Structure 1
Amino acid sequence: MLLRKGTKIGKKIDELSVGERLNLTEKIEDKDLLLYLGLTNDSNPLFIQHDYAAETSFKKPIVPVIMLNGIITSAISKHLPGPGSYILEQNISYLLPVYHYETIEVLLEVQQINTVENIVDVFVTALNEEKQQIIEGVFKVMPPV
């Protein structure tokens, strides 16, 4: 297998262990929201219009859940297991909304390893600034071979 010089490969299945963790902190900035909305052409006013959101049960604009999902999938692709990983399945619950300018803490943890099928279950949980759980889920990931 030829790789470009400096290309990093993530952890292979035999390099992972149950309980292995990754913690990361993300601050939701306007530039990130605008980039997401521009790339997806998502024009839901709940995500960007303060006057519209004020009339909803949320009271202010919220972060699109798929953008939060992107933070998680990016962490899987970059760190755990890392480059070369492929997400096969995901089951996520978004428990509370995330608002603009919030900082969230995301924890990924290897929960199960199936060496025969080359699949790991990565549990994810995320907390908002008040330490309330906002996301919970499991990703089935195929580490690089």
Structure 2
Amino acid sequence: MRVLENITYDELRVSDYATFTKTLSDENLVLFAATNGEMPLSALSVDAAKKNVYDDTVGYGMWASSLISTAFDKVIPGPGSIYLDQNLSFKRKVELGDTLTVKLT
């Protein structure tokens, strides 16, 4: 079992960073679609998720943005952490099978 530890505000240094990497799989997409309310639970399938979550201009970008909050909670500063603001700019589409790395500094 992995133990999660947090870093207190006083322990953080300007040069501290952490990374979190995840690949967008069919399962991730279906779970994301179900949890964000884009599709009813009765319709859970990869095809339904692809139709309901995909936007032609940004792909599965909002799934990518969810990795940021996951990284805050699981990596640095850790459990119990929250952040108050996020500004996103999508430079490329995120597609099934893409592996993304979030770097928090």
So what's the TM-score if we normalise by structure 1?
0.54
- Larger proportion of strand: 1
- Larger proportion of helix: 2
Matching of residue 42 in structure 1 with residue 44 in structure 2: no
Query: Cα RMSD (Å) of the superposition?
Result: 2.7
1:89, 1:101 → 2: CA distance? Answer: 28
Instruction: Give the equivalent residue in structure 2 for 1:17.
Output: 13
Structure exhibiting the larger radius of gyration computed from Cα positions: 1
Q: Is the 8 A contact 2:20 2:75 kept in 1?
A: no
Structure with more relative contact order (C-alpha pairs < 8 Å, separation 6 or more): 2
How far is 1:28 from its partner?
A: 0.5
1:89, 1:41 → 2: CA distance? Answer: 22
How far is 1:75 from its partner?
A: 0.6
**Identity score, percent:** 26
So what's the TM-score if we normalise by structure 2?
0.72
- For these two proteins, the number of residue pairs brought into alignment is 93
1:57, 1:67 → 2: CA distance? Answer: 14
Matching residue within 53, 62, 66 for 2:59? 62
How far is 1:30 from its partner?
A: 0.3
The runs of 5 or more residues in structure 1 that have no matched partner are 1-6, 110-145
Q: Which secondary structure does the structure 1 equivalent of 2:84 belong to? A: strand
Please list every run of at least 4 consecutive aligned residues from structure 1 whose deviation after the TM superposition is greater than 4 angstroms.
Answer: none
The runs of 5 or more residues in structure 2 that have no matched partner are 40-46
Aligned residue identity for 2:35? L
